[in-house]
Structure 1
């Protein structure tokens, strides 16, 4: 009979712990969940500029803007829509507000959600974010696979015309699937790079994709002799006001949802306010410029391709190679442009998906999952979502983006109201790692009903419109609900923020006012003195060590 050493197996499965660590892996803590210590705070102002150039200058930004053309807006309206949503600083302001706790307390969303939802209740928003992030990663990986397919087709022209062995209803071509496999092979090693060392890869990715964008812009304008006849168009196929509002909501649904987890990255800041400038400047500028380039290129290329609106730059590159009959010059241009599209898909998948999702999954099971392992799980789930079905048409793509906001916007409103207005940016850090009634964030059996009620208040008015949009219901009785749904992110944040504020005013959460002056985690060491606080046994098992905190003016 085989003697299985379960203790040894368990030790191997447990996530690694730093040598001479001041923490242990428990139900609430591991290396990726602790407040980031000083030696791991490596991100400065320019690092965050690189982060936001990757987030804002990507295929999602290009496609979101140009997809509005396919949805029925004319180019001028689409550009105005993009400027109002991104250039209006809404995205940047949300990023600053959501990332503040990362700058100040060096904790990410996974841990921060515990003060609004309770230690056990925090699993709910974490699971929602995991679901949304896996959906996003699936779409990003599909685009990455297509970009890889185009790149290979530029080298081997026959690959672009490979016979398809999948059914037409699947919306997936064999060559796209092969491209995804190769793209995944390139993505997996990136997960091994710690978040504190990703600045240079992000900068390289931005340079490569920016070159692709401006290269396509120059080609389109020169070849079409301008921005295209679509810019002379004045009529639209939809009601302009609500069409523009729907586009704004779609953009906020894409980037606003990402801002919810800004603290996942701002916790690596080497000084206060290091991320702020990039959030307020780089974020809206890069999103706006990339989307506008996408709109102009889409408009100009329509004149070049017989009136067809090619709203995806990857499809456009493939069409360019076909238009010029795979000439050496065309293949060279497509090859170099494809390098930019492949690289940006790798970078954006790390920025918006793998790190945050990995940390969320670590929050579900800290003893056995860290960011790296969580990222691998995300990659498996992402491909199982069949993103090629979600991205089959332009209107379905926008519906997906807006649908995400139904859940993410109320989560954002709850967190912003609780942290900035109710707690006045004060947290008792040690209690965020204490899984029993001694924590002020334990509430009732680990659940805070206030967050759940406020979340529901921000979500329920949007559900009828979501159902009508998904099922293409055109009944006049649903018209009002659909219009409200078109304002998803704005309505969701406003209603949940207001509800959370009123609820906590009527029924203040226990322990309110006892959080300070625990503000910045400066390190961990044995013993306690002054304003330091003993770490509980749930954090490291012994209680001998402490979280050393700085006393600040409050």
Structure 2
């Protein structure tokens, strides 16, 4: 029995490459090691494709609703989107730098800041949020699929509901979700290094949807619509402008935090940088601007404000009584929305969450298995229930920026300021005290202290927002909370730097390449093997390099 169980455990282990130079351990597998040269397939245009998917999506389209809610005018909102997009690009460059240079993702990079065991905390936090968001993205993808099939089969759009009212799920939405999931599952099997073409197709389809809706709305409304020319309602435009910028940063914050999950596939240094600095702000700004114009113009046509393009397409088909012409337009436009939901679920959820889960159990979970686990958990949360019955839940989930921002501050401070972008890569896969990233029993106490320093000032505002508290005592806290990403990142960044200057950890300034790069003789990330080797472990790396040569 023991033999059979041992054989079963061995079979359940994730596969390794042929002639692999690594073993599946508690800290290492194929998807966690520094990306080998043959898997670095992403160039400049590939990253442009990535940001066209991440920046041109339904979330970017609907950004205007958030900005106008702050009291900004549509023109001011467009200005905020441009500034926020530029800052998002800069943040993406900073967070993705370790991927470009060391070819490691967020899961592994958390280890040098939090410690080998402490890294489980930010990883689990990101997994939890990603699973929830995937459930909602899948539900919206199912609704877009329902609209698509409703354009093909008009009767499906008005299909009788066979579910109870308490389920908060229509039969046609459930069928759309099943079809969308069938399309999503095969995408999980596509290696991240081969996703450039699917991303390009998705962008072309979504861009066509945006342009089509823009032309339709402006033509029929005779311009941008009356709402577009309404003045802002904010008593303090400066505060509203800052709230808007931090809302943009928060919306893409989780994606930028894990930017190294994608930049690790870069085929050369600086390949992702241009797309992050150019494509990110352009795609975010253009998509949000189109969303504001279309919403304004369609209000004059349909008589109501509809920010979500999925529901807008369904209303358009109803407005024209399911005419063949309207159904054709809705069909092609909804194809772009369906593909966008598929692509964004891969970009922000599937790959990154799969890698995070691989970090929790590398022997038995890789990116593909982790993605499937995420999908099961995401659907099991019944997002239709959460969206329909718990308005507070969305506020709470959005409030997880309170935790993401300080985590970003800790990572940026440690990598760019404290360690000055120097890492001993092998030690990131060594789970004992011989690793300089072991700290105290596997935990770097500086990280949780800095993290909580960035979190606690924002918690009262989160409570006030979730519970819709309007008392004077909460006004200041809520204002501070509305600046979540900026305040949380800045405070954790400063506190972490201060703690490390007062209590410097061991191993600062040391760097060494991953053992596979030494043994195979490929690039060594510019590491100077012979310099800055002061401990016994570094001497071992140098000896290995000599043998390999």
Residues 57 and 344, structure 2, Cα contact 8 Å, conserved in 1: yes
Residues 102 and 267, structure 1, Cα contact 8 Å, conserved in 2: yes
Can you list the C-alpha shifts for 1:63-89, whole angstroms capped at 9, x where unaligned?
122454467544223323322311xx1
Aligned residue in 2 for 1:385: 381
Correspondences of 1:98-109 after superposition (within 5 Å): 98-109=95-106
Aligned residue in 2 for 1:540: none
1:199 to 177, 191, 196: 196
1:471 is displaced (CA, Å) by 1.0
1:260 to 257, 261, 264: 257
Aligned residue in 1 for 2:336: 340
- The whole-number CA distance in structure 1 between the counterparts of 2:239 and 2:155 is 45
1:375 to 371, 375, 380: 371
Superposed CA RMSD in Å reads 2.8
- The whole-number CA distance in structure 1 between the counterparts of 2:30 and 2:547 is 18
1:531 is displaced (CA, Å) by 2.8
1:546/1:267 Cα in 2 relative to 1: closer, same or farther (>3 Å)?
farther
Q: TM-score, normalised by structure 2?
A: 0.92
Aligned residue in 2 for 1:479: 475
1:196 is displaced (CA, Å) by 0.6
Q: Secondary structure in 2 aligned to 1:275?
A: helix
- The whole-number CA distance in structure 2 between the counterparts of 1:60 and 1:106 is 29
1:235/1:45 Cα in 2 relative to 1: closer, same or farther (>3 Å)?
closer
Say yes or no: does 1:467 pair with 2:500.
no
Aligned residue in 1 for 2:10: 11
Aligned residue in 2 for 1:297: 294
1:289/1:401 Cα in 2 relative to 1: closer, same or farther (>3 Å)?
farther
Aligned residue in 1 for 2:40: 41
- The whole-number CA distance in structure 1 between the counterparts of 2:186 and 2:417 is 41
Residues 66 and 291, structure 1, Cα contact 8 Å, conserved in 2: no
Aligned residue in 2 for 1:502: 498
Correspondences of 1:135-146 after superposition (within 5 Å): 135-146=132-143
Residues 425 and 511, structure 2, Cα contact 8 Å, conserved in 1: no
Residues 426 and 512, structure 2, Cα contact 8 Å, conserved in 1: no
1:317 to 313, 318, 335: 313
Correspondences of 1:130-529 after superposition (within 5 Å): 130-168=127-165, 171-236=168-233, 240-306=237-303, 308-389=304-385, 391=387, 399=395, 402-513=398-509, 515-518=510-513, 522=517, 524-525=519-520
Q: Secondary structure in 1 aligned to 2:62?
A: helix
Moved more, 363-372 or 158-167: 158-167
Q: Secondary structure in 2 aligned to 1:92?
A: helix
Aligned residue in 2 for 1:77: 76
Residues 517 and 531, structure 1, Cα contact 8 Å, conserved in 2: yes
Q: Secondary structure in 2 aligned to 1:283?
A: helix
1:172 is displaced (CA, Å) by 2.9
- The whole-number CA distance in structure 1 between the counterparts of 2:147 and 2:544 is 54
Residues 522 and 549, structure 1, Cα contact 8 Å, conserved in 2: no
Residues 143 and 310, structure 2, Cα contact 8 Å, conserved in 1: yes
Q: TM-score, normalised by structure 1?
A: 0.91
1:428/1:142 Cα in 2 relative to 1: closer, same or farther (>3 Å)?
same
Moved more, 456-465 or 379-388: 379-388
- The whole-number CA distance in structure 2 between the counterparts of 1:325 and 1:361 is 47
Residues 234 and 240, structure 2, Cα contact 8 Å, conserved in 1: no
1:405 is displaced (CA, Å) by 1.1
- The whole-number CA distance in structure 1 between the counterparts of 2:105 and 2:515 is 14
Can you list the C-alpha shifts for 1:263-315, whole angstroms capped at 9, x where unaligned?
11111111100000000000111011001100100000001111x11000000
1:178 is displaced (CA, Å) by 1.6
The count of aligned residue pairs is 535
- The whole-number CA distance in structure 1 between the counterparts of 2:69 and 2:528 is 62
Residues 142 and 178, structure 2, Cα contact 8 Å, conserved in 1: yes
2:529 to 523, 528, 531: 531
Residues 32 and 370, structure 1, Cα contact 8 Å, conserved in 2: yes
- The whole-number CA distance in structure 2 between the counterparts of 1:19 and 1:294 is 49
Q: Secondary structure in 2 aligned to 1:5?
A: helix
1:390 is displaced (CA, Å) by 5.2
Residues 228 and 299, structure 1, Cα contact 8 Å, conserved in 2: yes
Moved more, 465-474 or 229-238: 229-238
Residues 518 and 549, structure 1, Cα contact 8 Å, conserved in 2: no
Gaps of 5+ in 1: 534-542
Aligned residue in 1 for 2:113: 116
Q: Secondary structure in 2 aligned to 1:30?
A: coil
Residues 132 and 404, structure 1, Cα contact 8 Å, conserved in 2: yes
Q: Secondary structure in 1 aligned to 2:34?
A: coil
- The whole-number CA distance in structure 2 between the counterparts of 1:524 and 1:400 is 48
Q: Secondary structure in 2 aligned to 1:284?
A: helix
- The whole-number CA distance in structure 1 between the counterparts of 2:335 and 2:451 is 42
1:463/1:94 Cα in 2 relative to 1: closer, same or farther (>3 Å)?
same
Gaps of 5+ in 2: 532-540
1:191/1:68 Cα in 2 relative to 1: closer, same or farther (>3 Å)?
same
